[in-house]
Amino acid sequence: MTPIFDALARHAQDRPGAIAFRDGERTMTWADLARAVSRAAAGFAAGPRCVGLALAGLDYVIGDLAATLAGRCVVPVPGFFSAGQVAHLLADSGAMLIDRLPADATGLPLAYSGGAARVIYTSGTTGRPKGVILGDRQVTASALGLSQAIGPGPGDRYLSVLPQAQLLEQISGIFLPILAGAETVLCPEGTACLFSGDGRALARRAVACDPTVTVLAPRQLTLWVAALREGIPAPRGLRYVAVGGAPVSPALLAEARALSLPVAEGYGLSEACSVVALTPADAPGGSAMQSVPGLDLRIEDGEIVVDGPTVMAGYLGRAPQVGVPNHALLYPPLLRRRQPCV
């Protein structure tokens, strides 16, 4: 995480008045963000070691960065979880629920000293949800690899539409834009359409803020395409729209591209810190995905094998991976995760 905090400090010094994040009518410059993260980090440093972040919007952005800077274990709490699901998540992880930002006027310097981790719970579609442990090594490698693959820069504007408790959105909507110095527009309309089934508000918001990059779930793409069919135009500045998390039909991808959404597919899993392969931005439709720089993907015995620095430290409360020393549970040199072919 050191490169991310170094970038935040650099932007706050070199471009203090430039907008870093927008959340409706609320905006935050790089200097504002640096101050808010510093103060909240001091508050987290005086609190529990493991925190369940039940925050939203800009408060989630600040809270995630601040808790990480303070060396805490971050457990994102999805806003759509039931009370029972939240209780299970907190009991299983030992986290204390945080629903408002702590603050200390003294602040902490934006010099990350390590020690933070995050626990991301799997969907549970193939069994009981498991807590995936990710540390500095995994998150940093994932952010740097995706930055190399997508090539974001200060001129980009990211449209954040996935739930912030999703690991993919933490990397794509917080860490990558900070590395690039790009503006992020938080779009609750995009998240809401996952539950409402109406993509028109997402489509209109996208036109209003004219993003260059966004990441969608297949359902969001389906709803956005339906809104485009009704006559809402696609944003003119879009250069890359990644979609993943579930199978996407070739027909939907083709229609999205015909309606001026430059869609590219991605593939990944929480156990490998989200994205492990994606279609390059300049690739023609139907092109195969390429592995994220720094990762090795291959087929063995009918399974996709992912090797590299983004692979998880292990599952919370479970024995470390076979062949990995116990003392290396949080930061092993190399782990292997097998995923069935799809």
Pairing of strands 263-269, 131-135: unpaired
- Which DSSP state fits 272? G
Per-residue model confidence (pLDDT) at position 323: 39
**pLDDT mean over 118-135:** 79
> Binning pLDDT at 50, 70 and 90, where does residue 94 land?
very high
Residue 103 or 99, more confident: 99
Per-residue model confidence (pLDDT) at position 338: 40
What span, in angstroms and rounded, lies between the C-alpha atoms of 335 and 220? Answer: 33
What span, in angstroms and rounded, lies between the C-alpha atoms of 37 and 108? Answer: 8
Average pLDDT in the chain: 90
What span, in angstroms and rounded, lies between the C-alpha atoms of 244 and 219? Answer: 10
Q: CA distances (Å), 106 to each of 42, 98, 112, in order?
A: 7, 20, 16
- Closest by CA position to 50, among listed 121, 5, 116, 147: 116
Least confident of 228-237, 271-280, 308-317, 321-330: 321-330
Q: Determine contact, residues 101/55, Cβ cutoff 8 Å.
A: yes
pLDDT of residue 322 exceeding 70, the answer is no
List pLDDT tens digits, range 62-78.
Answer: 999 999 999 999 999 99
Measured torsion, CA atoms of residues 168, 174, 179, 185, in degrees rounded to the nearest 10: 110
Q: How many CB atoms lie within 10 A of CB 65?
A: 28
Per-residue model confidence (pLDDT) at position 245: 87
Q: 94 φ, ψ to 5°?
A: 75, 20
pLDDT of residue 18 exceeding 80, the answer is yes
Proportion of the chain above pLDDT 70, given as a percent = 90
> Binning pLDDT at 50, 70 and 90, where does residue 286 land?
low
> Binning pLDDT at 50, 70 and 90, where does residue 35 land?
very high
Per-residue model confidence (pLDDT) at position 124: 55
List pLDDT tens digits, range 195-233.
Answer: 999 999 999 999 999 999 999 999 999 999 999 999 999
> Binning pLDDT at 50, 70 and 90, where does residue 330 land?
very low
DSSP 128-163: S--EEEEEHHHHHHHHHHHHHHH---TT-EEEE-S-
> Binning pLDDT at 50, 70 and 90, where does residue 53 land?
very high
Per-residue model confidence (pLDDT) at position 285: 66
Per-residue model confidence (pLDDT) at position 123: 64
**pLDDT mean over 326-334:** 30
Instruction: Read off the pTM.
Output: 0.91
What span, in angstroms and rounded, lies between the C-alpha atoms of 152 and 211? Answer: 12
pLDDT of residue 29 exceeding 70, the answer is yes
The size of the chain, in residues, is 342
Per-residue model confidence (pLDDT) at position 141: 97
Per-residue model confidence (pLDDT) at position 303: 87
- Strand blocks (E) in 161-283: 183-186, 213-216, 240-243, 263-269, 274-278
208 three-class SS: helix
**pLDDT mean over 172-176:** 97
DSSP 82-124: -HHHHHHHHHHHTPEEE-S----TT---S---S--EEEEE---
What span, in angstroms and rounded, lies between the C-alpha atoms of 25 and 180? Answer: 23
| Backbone φ/ψ region at 304: left (φ over 0), alpha (ψ -120 to 50), beta | beta
Per-residue model confidence (pLDDT) at position 125: 53
